[in-house]
Amino acid sequence: MRAKVIDRAATVVLTLIALLIIGTLVGLLGFILSQGWHKLTLDFLTSPPDIVNAGGGVGPQLFNSIYLLVLTMLIALPLGIGAGIYMAEYAPDNRFTQFIRLSIEVLSSLPSIVVGLFGLLVFVNMTGWGYSLLSGALALPVFNLPLLVRITEDALRNVPRSQKEASLALGITKWRTIVSVILPAALPGIITGAILASGRVFGEAAALLFTAGMSSPTLNFTDFSLFSPTSPLNPFRPAETLAVHIWKVNSEGLTPDARDVADGAAAILVLAVLVFNLGARWFGSWLYKKMTSGTN
């Protein structure tokens, strides 16, 4: 009888905790979206900001965030997936492997401001690039590399061992087995992890204050040169992202509608991160069903 009472009490307590978490999330999203929903117009999403007058948008900042995300993932994905493959298939169980895991955990717990100062010292000052998209793209992988490595390793380890053994039994080399058998089977989990890591990068602000900068030149979207100062594709130009713009408007904004602009930009940022997370789960499930149905 006492065991049943304790079990019911634990069930009630844990259910209340779950409801508290859900309620906090819904309340936070509801508040941010209710404050900034009226600013979510096409003009706000595409027009440049105005420093003095009311009515500016976040077009360049939104583009900078997306472009920086692409550059960051182009750098982080090969490193993260490669490290995950090594940890799952090649790394022996010794002190060196334990040291690698410890390093991954330390990277995942580094404060954003520390990563930003490291990027300022190495990629901004030592390279001479100054505040630029490339400096930010080289600093941000510190945040998503631990997630990519862990997810890749877990996805590879979850592939049925029989598939690997069958491939090796046919005389296929270990590397070819990884590329042709194990990686395709683990692809849904890896893609899900990559999309979740993208959400983390998209919402980062503190590290970018010291690497990508707090300003953006007037962009000419008809100029696709990689080295033109006004080209949107120039990786060596400074680039204020959406998250940095929110901080800047709230702290230094001079426009009469600074609060409205910040609320609208915050709503866009929250919706983007929400889409990243929901899209990752949906796409991962869809890809897994597609692959499993193709093998049956």
Q: Evaluate if residue 120 carries a pLDDT over 90.
A: yes
Residue carrying structure tokens 């070819």? 176
Q: Evaluate if residue 295 carries a pLDDT over 60.
A: no
Instruction: Give me 9's structure tokens.
Output: 């009490």
- Are the beta carbons of 58 and 261 closer than 8 angstroms? yes
Number of domains in the chain: 1
Q: Average pLDDT for residues 134-141, to the nearest whole number?
A: 92
Has residue 277 been placed in a domain? yes
Look at residue 242 and give its three-state secondary structure: helix
CA dihedral of residues 204, 210, 216, 220 (deg, nearest 10): -80
Residues 6 or more apart whose CB falls under 8 angstroms from that of 35 comprise: 263, 266, 267
- Are the beta carbons of 231 and 220 closer than 8 angstroms? yes
Has residue 201 been placed in a domain? yes
- Rounded Cα distance between 261 and 92, Å, is 53
Per the structure, the complete domain to which residue 121 belongs is given by: 40-295
Has residue 30 been placed in a domain? no
Q: Evaluate if residue 17 carries a pLDDT over 90.
A: yes
Residues 6 or more apart whose CB falls under 8 angstroms from that of 291 comprise: 184, 185, 187, 188
Residue pLDDT, tens place only, 220-279: 888 888 888 888 889 999 989 998 988 888 887 677 888 888 888 889 988 888 887 787
- Backbone phi, psi, residue 64, to 5°: -60, -40
Flag the least confident range among 31-35, 164-168, 201-205, 286-290.
286-290
Has residue 20 been placed in a domain? no
Q: What is the CATH number of the domain that holds 271?
A: 1.10.3720.10
Has residue 25 been placed in a domain? no
At residue 261, what is the residue type? V
Burial of 264 (0-12, 13-18, 19+ CB in 10 A): buried
Q: Average pLDDT for residues 137-149, to the nearest whole number?
A: 89
- Are the beta carbons of 200 and 277 closer than 8 angstroms? no
CA dihedral of residues 157, 163, 169, 174 (deg, nearest 10): -40
Has residue 123 been placed in a domain? yes
- Rounded Cα distance between 248 and 268, Å, is 16
Has residue 184 been placed in a domain? yes
- Rounded Cα distance between 181 and 239, Å, is 41
Predicted confidence band of residue 294 (pLDDT cuts 50, 70, 90): low
Residue pLDDT, tens place only, 21-65: 999 989 988 898 888 888 888 888 888 888 777 778 888 898 999
Burial of 198 (0-12, 13-18, 19+ CB in 10 A): buried
Predicted confidence band of residue 74 (pLDDT cuts 50, 70, 90): very high
Has residue 239 been placed in a domain? yes
- Are the beta carbons of 269 and 246 closer than 8 angstroms? yes
- Backbone phi, psi, residue 74, to 5°: -65, -30
Number of CB atoms found within 10 A of residue 101's CB: 15
pLDDT for position 292: 67
